[in-house]
Structures are given as C-alpha cells and as structure tokens.
Amino acid sequence: MHAMPELTAMSDRWRASGFVDSAHAWIVARLAERGRSVVAAIEQPHVTDWSTVMRVPTDDGPVWFKANDDSMRHEAAATAIVAPLSGGRVPVPLASDPRTGWMLLADAGRRLRDVIPEERSLVRWHDVLEAYARLQLACEDRVDALLAAGLPDRRLHTLPGAYAALLAGLDDVDPRLPGPDAITDLCDRLVAFGIRETVQHDDLHDGQVFLGDGVHQVLDWGDACVSHPFFTLAVTLEGVIAWGIDDEEGSEDLDPHLAAYLRPFAKTYPLTDTDLREAARIAMRLGWVCRAINGALPQDPGQTHTRLRMFLDGKP
C-alpha cells in the first residue's frame, strides 16, 4: 500500500537558490573536514513539502545530504542517539548540524523496495523486524534524551487528548470513530502488559530499509516518536507487508513476521506468547491513531482520514 502525497508550493523552498547554495557550501565544508571532495554535479532527486535529499558524488563514492523542515528537524539528533545503540542497523551520520537538522550520510546501498520484486520474497523482513525490535529495547533507557532531542511525545497517556484534538480539527469525520474514552480504554489495556515505551520509527516501510554491505539498515527517522514500541506494527505489518509482493491486500501471511518482531521482547519480558500477541493486536489498532496524529499535515487531510480508516477497518 504505497501512496505519496502531492507536492505543494511549500516544496519550492528546497529548490530556492539561497537554500541550495547554502546546502552545497555546507556539504563541501563537511566533506573537506574528512579529506574528501565533490567530483561532479550535486543532484537533488528527492523533494517533498517537508524534506529534501541531495546525491553528492565524491572522490570516495556517493554520499547523501538531507534537510527537514521544523517538524522533523529532530531527525539528525535522534539518529545520533539511536545509531550507536543499533548494532550497525542505523548508520551514524558522516556529519550533522543539530541547529539546522542537516545531515550527511554514507550511501546505504539498494532499497528493500527495489530488491523484493527481484527476489519475489518478503523473508528479508524477518531480519529487519527482529533487529529493529532489539534497537527499540536498547533505547528504552534513552527516552528522556530522545524527547529532549525533539522527538514527539506519543506515549500512551498523551493519545486520548491528542486524538480528541485531531478529530476536532477535521472535516467530515467518520461517524464510526469512537470518542476519546475508547482510546483511553485501549491505552489502559496496553499499559497493563508492562512493556516500556521507547523510540518508534512510525513510518517503517520498504522504502526506508537499505541493504548496505549485506546488512539491512533502517533510515529516515524524521517521523520517529516516543511511543509504545508495538505501534510500529500498524504501518509495517498491516500497511505494508500484508499487501505482499504485488501490492495485493491480504496476500502475505503476517504470522512469521510478527513472530520475528516479538522474539526479542519474549526474551526480555516475562510475558507469554499469548500475552505478546494480544498486546500486538491492541497496538496494531492504536498504532494507526498514533500515525494519524503524528503524521497529520494540514495540507493533506486525506492521509489522516485514510489512517483513521485503517484504525477502524484494517484497510484504507
């Protein structure tokens, strides 16, 4: 299930000469500090309303520059916290500026999205999910630092109020959507399992996973927040993997993928497999509430409505 919002005039800022010239100068200076230089024209293949990416050819291979708007400026600081705890699954930036949020990253290889059609298999997700779960567990004690770095606070106690505010700002609200009390009940049920809140990518799909040097790496932490870890399962399992190789709804068995993700939690928490799967079931519904809140864009209410339909129905 891949859908990209249309660009608006907001994206023009990334193509403005003032920004481009400043970015190029910063890139050249940071590379020079590492004894590297630009050897060909810098390209700008990726532009959205909220971010841009540039490809930089250097004398030691390509590197990538990324800039985010204010809503995702925390990505550079968050990546610097998460990467050292990831066991090599999140690349450490070559350079970053916490003031601007600019980052320079080594080339991470091919995207999982480009490899899956060739291999006709989603089995690589097992390794990605298990490694990502270990990363989340490793970051449990870094919640205060992640919040201080600017990650949105989407912990369970915040969701009912944020959900009410989201609905209040929407037109044409689906009458089937429950009130905040129902969200509170789901949150209370999830709290009871005792799983600690931590970093959560909130947009973990096959376009964010790269093969690197034979190791799956997770990039693009601009949507990351602090929340229940299992909220990841909404987008990753229900929104991506369930659609299989050919983007057909319900064409992939989710059980092996869920088992891979839950394995590190089973080793860490004194919970039965039944308990973990029930927590995952609740979190998969609440995860769409989190995604609707965390990813809401005033210029794209359609995405918010889609995510709320996923909360209700498990399909767009």
Instruction: Please give the Cα distance from 78 to 215 (Å, whole number).
Output: 21
- pLDDT above 60 (res 5): no
212-215: long-range contacts (C-beta < 8 A, 24 or more apart)?
212/91, 212/108, 212/109, 213/109, 215/88, 215/89
**Residues 150, 181: one domain?**
yes
Average pLDDT over every residue of 173-179: 97
Six token digits for residue 54: 């540039």
- In percent, how much of the chain has pLDDT > 70? 97
Boundary of a domain, candidates 106, 141, 159: 106
Distance of alpha carbon 186 from its chain centroid, rounded?
23
Average pLDDT, the chain: 95
Query: Does a structural domain hold residue 2?
Result: no
> How buried is 179 (Cβ within 10 angstroms: 0-12 exposed, 13-18 middle, 19+ buried)?
exposed
Six token digits for residue 84: 């050292």
Query: Does a structural domain hold residue 83?
Result: yes
**Residues 203, 117: one domain?**
yes
Q: Indicate the pLDDT class of residue 104, thresholds 50, 70 and 90.
A: very high
| Look-up of token digits 């429950």 | 178
39-57 pLDDT, tens per residue? 999 999 999 988 999 999 9
**Residues 54, 123: one domain?**
no
**Residues 198, 287: one domain?**
yes
Q: Rounded to two decimals, what is the model's pTM?
A: 0.93
Average pLDDT over every residue of 237-260: 97
Q: What is the CATH number of the domain that holds 287?
A: 3.90.1200.10
216-228 pLDDT, tens per residue? 999 999 999 999 9
**Residues 186, 67: one domain?**
no
Q: How many domains does the chain have?
A: 2
**Residues 147, 290: one domain?**
yes
- pLDDT above 60 (res 187): yes
Query: Does a structural domain hold residue 3?
Result: no
Expressed as residue numbers, the domain containing 63 is 9-106
**Residues 293, 161: one domain?**
yes
**Residues 70, 214: one domain?**
no
**Residues 214, 146: one domain?**
yes
State the first-to-last Cα distance of the chain, in angstroms, to the nearest integer. 9
